[in-house]
Structure formats: C-alpha cells, structure tokens
C-alpha cells in the first residue's frame, strides 16, 4: 500500500515544483528578489511586514497606519520613513556615474526626497530580520521627512511571513504567504494594464516583466564592461557597445507606444549572450 509523503520542511516546500508546472513557477527562477514575472509583484509582501503600519513597496516611507494604533504610530503616516530595524540599516549611500561620460563614483541623490542615502530593496534589507525576529517585536527607528534630527523609535511586531497549519497539534509553517501580509489581490495590485507597461513601468530601473537590462556585454582592458541597453531600438549583436541610460523620452529606446503597437517586433530575445537575429519581415 502506497503512502503519500508530505514535505514538512519549509525549504523543501518552497523548492517543490508540481508535475506539469514550468521551471518559471519556482521562486529561485525569478530575475531578481522582487519580480518573478508578469504574474505578480513580490514587493507587495513587504508592505505589511510590521504590524500596525504599512510601508511603501519600494521606498522606506510609512504610507499608512491602522486606525486603532496608538498615536505615536499613527503619527508616522506620510510623515516619517524607516531607517533602522534593530541595528540593521535599511538605507545606504549609492555612488555611480550621473551621465554616460561623467565620474564613475559620484554620490547619487534620492530623487524623491533629495536624500544622500537610498532605501534598500526590502527582500535584501529585511531578510535577516525576518529570519531572526519573525513573530517577535523589534525596535524600529524612523526619521522625519522634513527634519533629519527628528527621530522616533518604536517597538513593532514582525508578522509571520508564512501561513501556519496545525499538524499533530503543532503549528507548522506552510509555503503559502500569510494573508495578513498579502490579502487576496494584493500581489497583482501594482501590475500595469495593458501588460506591455510592465516592460517600462515607471521609466527607471524598475520593471515587473522578467527581462534583461544590460546585454551584448564585453569586458574592457581596464576591468570595466561595455554593452547595450536591451530597450535600445534596432539593436543587433554588431551594434557599438555604448549603454544608453534608460529614459522613456529618449527616441533611441523602445517607447510605450512601440510596446503597445508592435511589441512582438520591438522586443527580441538574447540567445547565447547575444541578440537574436532581426526578424526578416520587420
């Protein structure tokens, strides 16, 4: 008599791929920590990671607080941003070139608040916190949006990330995102319509579509690299390697209109590290 084996180990459950499901359904197939593809925007699971407040999905600003929360917590809404959880910083200074031929180590400024530090991606910033403090209270440090010297420290509880199921009288975590963090509909809430928008999204380095950015890459003699922006129009494997900074207004790059009208001709696969041949009927 055969007996069904049920995985109780959370890692095993997360890595399990059901018969008939393609490899893209497994979390580790995602192009980054945030966007598994057009079917969902994983950033939304982090918004409610702390009880009583809601964070912006891509920045450290507090965008909401529950109505019955104590006044110090409700006061955070649209007024403060999270800077530390315990001793872990959730922002960092970022350096890089501001233009194609400019210095390569300039301090880049957060465009939203003019800050010298930028918020880290939640999956990276909070992974260790979730591992150590899931279901426990942590000390969170908040800074005023208008006065960096105005600091508030509050203890907030880290929600359970995974749902729990009782097995033989013991709670066992399941490979299902808890409804308290992501109620029905939330995981697709920030995706665009029509779907082609997800290849550009907010015209910066955020997109929900699983796509590359830097292609046809070759290593220079000084250790740096050269390559092309995947959104560059009429790009081939022979196109000079000069990266065009993503700007939806730049006529050299695929626009929203191009995506809506002829995405199948504007977008091409990268095969073996190089662009696929141009279609004959373009």
Task: Give the domain extent around 222.
Answer: 195-275
Share of the chain above pLDDT 90, in %: 33
- Number of domains making up the chain: 2
**Stretch 18-31: mean pLDDT:** 72
pLDDT higher than 70, residue 38:
no
Distances (CA, A) of 219 to 101, 215, 216, 222, 224: 17, 12, 10, 8, 6
Residues 239 and 246 sit within 8 Å (Cβ to Cβ): no
- Categorize the per-residue pLDDT at 140 as very low, low, confident or very high, splitting at 50, 70 and 90: very high
Q: What is the pLDDT of residue 133?
A: 95
Exposed/middle/buried for 253, CB within 10 Å: 0-12, 13-18, 19+?
buried
Check whether residue 217 and residue 179 sit in a common domain: no
Check whether residue 67 and residue 96 sit in a common domain: yes
Q: Which residues contact 100 (CB under 8 A, 6 or more apart)?
A: 242, 243, 244, 245
Q: What is the pLDDT of residue 251?
A: 94
Check whether residue 175 and residue 269 sit in a common domain: no
Q: What is the pLDDT of residue 57?
A: 86
Check whether residue 206 and residue 130 sit in a common domain: no
Q: What is the pLDDT of residue 214?
A: 87
**Stretch 132-156: mean pLDDT:** 94
Check whether residue 74 and residue 21 sit in a common domain: yes
Check whether residue 122 and residue 242 sit in a common domain: no
Looking at 118, 152, 187, the residue that finishes a domain is 187
Q: Write out pLDDT tens, residues 154-194.
A: 999 999 998 888 888 888 888 888 988 988 888 877 777 77
Q: What is the pLDDT of residue 64?
A: 96
* Residue 28 maps to a domain: yes
Looking at 187, 215, 230, the residue that finishes a domain is 187
Convert 167-178 into a string of H (helix), E (strand) and C (coil).
ECCEEEEEEEEC
Cα–Cα distance, 47 to 151 (Å, whole number) = 21
Cα–Cα distance, 40 to 161 (Å, whole number) = 17
Say whether 104 sits in a helix, a strand or coil.
Answer: coil
Scanning the structure block, which residue is given the tokens 């909070």?
A: 126
Distances (CA, A) of 139 to 65, 97, 121, 144, 153: 17, 35, 20, 17, 7
pLDDT higher than 70, residue 14:
yes
* Residue 3 maps to a domain: no
Q: Which of 104-108, 164-168, 202-206, 244-248 bottoms out in mean pLDDT, i.e. has the lowest? A: 202-206
Q: What is the pLDDT of residue 238?
A: 84
Looking at 128, 158, 187, the residue that finishes a domain is 187
pLDDT higher than 70, residue 39:
no
Q: What is the DSSP secondary structure assignment for residue 186, as one 8-state letter?
A: G
Check whether residue 215 and residue 162 sit in a common domain: no
């Amino acid at each position: 008599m055969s007996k069904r084996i049920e995985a109780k180990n959370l890692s095993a459950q997360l890595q399990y791929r059901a018969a008939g499901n393609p490899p893209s359904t497994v979390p580790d197939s995602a192009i980054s920590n945030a966007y598994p593809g057009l079917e969902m925007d994983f950033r939304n699971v982090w918004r409610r990671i702390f009880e009583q407040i809601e964070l912006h999905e891509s920045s450290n600003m507090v965008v909401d607080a529950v109505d019955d929360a104590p006044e110090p917590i409700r006061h955070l809404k649209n007024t403060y941003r999270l800077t530390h959880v315990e001793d872990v910083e959730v922002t960092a200074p970022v350096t890089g070139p501001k233009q194609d031929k400019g210095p390569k180590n300039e301090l880049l400024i957060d465009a939203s608040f003019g800050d010298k530090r930028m918020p880290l991606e939640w999956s990276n910033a909070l992974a260790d916190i979730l591992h150590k403090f899931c279901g426990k209270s942590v000390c969170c440090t908040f800074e005023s949006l208008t006065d960096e010297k105005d600091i508030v420290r509050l203890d907030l509880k880290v929600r359970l990330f995974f749902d729990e199921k009782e097995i033989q009288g013991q709670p066992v975590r399941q490979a299902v995102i808890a409804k308290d963090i992501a109620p029905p509909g939330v995981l697709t809430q920030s995706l665009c319509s029509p779907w082609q928008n997800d290849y550009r999204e907010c015209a910066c380095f955020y997109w929900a579509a699983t796509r590359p950015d830097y292609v046809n890459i070759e290593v220079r003699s000084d250790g740096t690299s050269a390559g092309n922006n995947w959104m560059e129009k009429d790009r081939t494997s022979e196109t000079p390697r000069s990266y065009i900074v993503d700007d939806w207004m730049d006529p050299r790059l695929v626009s929203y209109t191009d995506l809506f009208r002829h995405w199948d001709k504007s977008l091409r696969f990268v095969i073996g590290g190089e662009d696929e041949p141009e279609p004959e009927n373009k």
